[in-house]
Structure 1
């Protein structure tokens, strides 16, 4: 006799197929974006993260719904048994054992799934401790601790570099909004095109940007969540007339705008912070708790 699959087994099989289909979709998305197109790769990271989060949330809700339904079935089963006993004043022993056995199987299955989930979480934590992201964070924390500083997290939304600069300027008593920083950066790049055009190439042809492509690039800098890098940092140092120090885990610290003899604002550049994407954070004074750990 062919064994009938339980609702849990059917749902697990469905979830595996949906995850496999999503991975195939993600791979197709990755293949469609050139590796040297940073802007589109950045958008790809956000799109992939959103797709994975939506699928995980869907699976969690379906599992929760299934467990709730099972609990309800078990209560109904017990209630029906009580009602039958009241009417007949007796219940066949075999029927009672069968109902208990099915309920126990469901509980055992639920416990096994929970144990498997906890095991996957533990494995992921171990992998993260030995992964690039963790190692990068450790190295940066050690570098910053020597200067009595620590990482100040900035949200990953495409504006991270400008938000980190905004945070640092606020600490220096300068009030520049995110929109102002983007607008000033774009304006400076437009008015000094010869300083920036040679470093911008079409990712498909490899040719230097045309005037139209450069104008679109500056427009994206000004009014979208386009990711910022060294070119935009160079423009910002000139606009602000102050140096910007970029601290990295694996490479020496880079100072942009050394010609300005002022105290630099400091940013953290993280290569492995968010999967495919790169990320900028700000810094802040080392907390008292962290100082105690150091001492």
Structure 2
């Protein structure tokens, strides 16, 4: 922090703002890399670490700008006060000077006829300072917009690429709430579109939310086929199954594989320009390849603030 203070003292406000933008861009790149390489087990810790890094950077930036603005204003105000005092002194002296107009030699000089020099209107120093500061902020905003214009809009590119696939297959997007249950909610919505029952009985005769049913059945399948799935897990099977069944833990590839088998459907996942097809195994399903029902999901990596997200893709009526 001391080094940053020394550096900021030697920089102008524009130089500091330019450095801040570069540091923010570099930090964003580091955070993106960390999040990209995160696993389900480490995702929360990495998100917390990134949030703390961003908070500390913003606090440091605010302190540096405040320090420079404070010192600059102090020096400028002192200089302006001295200028104003000097101008006031001159104006006061001029106002005290009486200028007499000489008459002809035969006439007595006029008495009491004096002209006072009226000083000019004082400058509004505070208004000028505010105007300069506003101009600096506007210039910084323009520079930031120009820099942003040169950066890749990953969210826009992703949506544009996926929209082409939607149109090709006659699909329209049905928004799913980004609440941690999105994969299971999207699958539940799709199963309803193709008339595949969810088995909504929770075991005690009561009803449960569709996404909970899908969660429960995915977790149950993984637990029942632990010999297949355990090798892909970074924790013991029992803990993983309980977390996936009872919490808002994000679902992923393993859950999609399980659900394809639970419901005997092909799951088509649209991502960027590609479409991944997840086929159910033949165990427990006697349907021929062409008889299997298809459900469609949209998978986003950049389109939502919380990160990865699934939406349901319904057929255009």
For residue 168 of structure 1, report the CA deviation from its aligned partner.
2.1
| Alignment partner of 1:188 out of 202, 221, 239 | 221
Answer whether contact 1:186 1:222 (CA < 8 A) is retained. yes
Aligned pairs for 1:29-108 (under 5 A) are 35=37, 37-41=39-43, 44-45=46-47, 48=50, 96-97=122-123, 100-108=124-132
Which residue does 2:212 correspond to in 1? 179
Distance (Å, rounded) in 1 between the aligned partners of 2:262 and 2:177: 24
Answer whether contact 2:180 2:250 (CA < 8 A) is retained. yes
Is 1:165 the counterpart of 2:198? The answer is no
| Alignment partner of 2:268 out of 245, 255, 258 | 245
* TM-score normalised over the length of structure 2: 0.56
C-alpha spacing 1:178/1:47, structure 2 compared with 1 (3 Å):
farther
Q: CA offsets, 1:90-121, max 9 Å, x none?
A: xx967831xx2321221231243134224424
Aligned pairs for 1:91-240 (under 5 A) are 96-97=122-123, 100-129=124-153, 132-172=154-194, 177-200=210-233, 202=234, 213-240=236-263
Which residue does 1:270 correspond to in 2? 300
Q: Which has the higher contact order (CA 8 A, sep 6+)?
A: 1
Distance (Å, rounded) in 2 between the aligned partners of 1:28 and 1:143: 30
Match of 1:243, SS state, is strand
Which residue does 1:280 correspond to in 2? 310
Answer whether contact 2:260 2:279 (CA < 8 A) is retained. yes
C-alpha spacing 1:252/1:170, structure 2 compared with 1 (3 Å):
closer
Provide structure 2 residue ranges, at least 5 long, that are not aligned to the other structure: 1-8, 70-117, 199-208
* TM-score normalised over the length of structure 1: 0.60
For residue 138 of structure 1, report the CA deviation from its aligned partner.
1.9
Q: CA offsets, 1:167-201, max 9 Å, x none?
A: 3234446565222222221122112212211333x
For residue 165 of structure 1, report the CA deviation from its aligned partner.
1.4
- Higher helix share goes to which structure? 1
Answer whether contact 2:269 2:275 (CA < 8 A) is retained. no
Q: Which has the larger radius of gyration?
A: 2
Distance (Å, rounded) in 2 between the aligned partners of 1:126 and 1:243: 40
Q: How many residue pairs were aligned?
A: 244
Which residue does 1:206 correspond to in 2? none
Q: CA offsets, 1:60-113, max 9 Å, x none?
A: 9xx9xx9xxxxxxxxxxxxxxxxxxxxxxxxx967831xx23212212312431
Distance (Å, rounded) in 1 between the aligned partners of 2:214 and 2:126: 64
Which residue does 2:278 correspond to in 1? 255
Match of 2:140, SS state, is helix
Match of 2:37, SS state, is coil
Distance (Å, rounded) in 2 between the aligned partners of 1:145 and 1:220: 37
Which residue does 1:82 correspond to in 2? none
Distance (Å, rounded) in 2 between the aligned partners of 1:29 and 1:136: 16
Distance (Å, rounded) in 2 between the aligned partners of 1:125 and 1:178: 40
Distance (Å, rounded) in 2 between the aligned partners of 1:265 and 1:35: 29
